[in-house]
Structure 1
Amino acid sequence: MKVPRSFLKNIPPVVSLLFILLFVYAGMSKLLDFETFQAQLEQFLFFGGFVAWVSHGVILLELLIAGLLCFGKTRLLGFYLSFFLILLFTAYILTIINLAANVPCSCGGVLDALGWKEHLIFNVFFIGQDLIGILIERNRKHDFNYKNTT
């Protein structure tokens, strides 16, 4: 069964919207409760003296990715960066689960209510969404470039 192109072209904007909502929500909730976010990161010894850099960097990256996902020309880059960030968060969660289960989640807001294992499932879902967005957006860009060069 072949999926119609009109259906496929609507998937990346919808997936983008999910990530925009996720990253704006997560970034703003961290920013609004910045001291708590930094304190929770400090409990995880891996970051050491880099907590200030990591805490600022995560928020800026989340908001930058959300911005990139807003526009068709930068959407693929936004998908790649969100994939990278979600993978980093997933590695962080796996490390927490295996080494330091007593560290609280530093996500903020509603996501703060998730346990580490639920958060892992949440991340795996978004990794899947990201892969779908990347594959469709890459194919769309490839088809567009191919049509314009022939």
Structure 2
Amino acid sequence: MNATFLSMKNAVIEIVSYLFILLFFYTGVMKLTDHRNFYFVMDKSHLLYRFAAILAWVIPILELAIVACLVVPKWRRVGLYASFILMSVFTIYVAYNAFFLTHAERPCTCGGIIEQMNWQQHVVFNACFTGLALCAVLFNKKRAQAPDTGTANLSLS
């Protein structure tokens, strides 16, 4: 395989990993520092209210656990898969809220900059991050399946 292509795939994996580290660290910390409000808003959701007490802890802890996986190279693959799965679930939830609920029925559990988005923008944002996670998972999977040929074969000569 072309060394330049491998370098680009590795760069995509690294960039996507860092983007998710920033996103999930930011959102996880925001949800924990304002835990009471995060729980209160989740409790207003007609989909989540039954599970709000546990989800208010599980979601930010899961986000921070994914950050830890993405930071440790040995666990990065797990972190990328977890990022894709969590973003897929978030995207479905946000899309459901955006397209099937009235404005009054849409509690927003987001914080900071993301809270400033409208629901349609939030769907696009989540879909883009889900797509990035999928690309990184696929690139990482193909990288792991390729035989280890050492760095000597990666020269550009």
Identity across the alignment (%): 32
Task: Determine the C-alpha separation between the residues in 2 that align with 1:88 and 1:74.
Answer: 21
In the alignment, the residues of structure 2 paired with residue 129 and residue 122 of structure 1 have an alpha-carbon distance, to the nearest angstrom, of 11
1:110 aligns with 2:117: no
Q: Deviations over 1:95-120 (max 9, x none)?
A: 21212432232111111111111000
Letter matched to residue 68 of structure 2: G
Aligned to 1:50: 51
Query: 1:81-92 counterparts in 2 under 5 A?
Result: 81-92=82-93
Q: Which runs of 5+ in 1 are unaligned?
A: none
- Give the 3-state SS of the residue equivalent to 1:140 in structure 2: helix
Matched residues, number: 145
Task: Quote the residue 2:124 is aligned against.
Answer: 121
Q: What's the TM-score once normalised by structure 1's chain length?
A: 0.89
Displacement of 1:7: 2.2
Alignment of 1:62-141 (within 5 A): 62-97=63-98, 98-102=100-104, 103-141=106-144
What is aligned with 1:12? 13
Q: Secondary structure at the match of 2:25?
A: helix
**Secondary structure, aligned partner of 1:46:** coil
Which secondary structure does the structure 1 equivalent of 2:24 belong to?
helix
> Which whole-Å deviations, capped at 9, do the CAs of 1:18-42 have from their partners, x for residues lacking one?
0000000001111111111111111
Runs of 5+ unmatched residues, structure 2: 150-157
* 1:26-80: CA deviation from partner (whole Å, max 9, x where unpaired): 0111111111111111111222332111110100110011111112221111111
Q: Is the 8 A contact 2:45 2:107 kept in 1?
A: no
Superposed CA RMSD: 1.6
**TM-score normalized by structure 2?**
0.86
Answer yes or no: is the 8 Å Cα contact 2:42–2:49 preserved in 1.
no
CA deviation digits over 1:115-149, x for unaligned, max 9? 11100000011011101100111111111xx338x
* 2: CA distance, partners of 1:109 / 1:48: 22
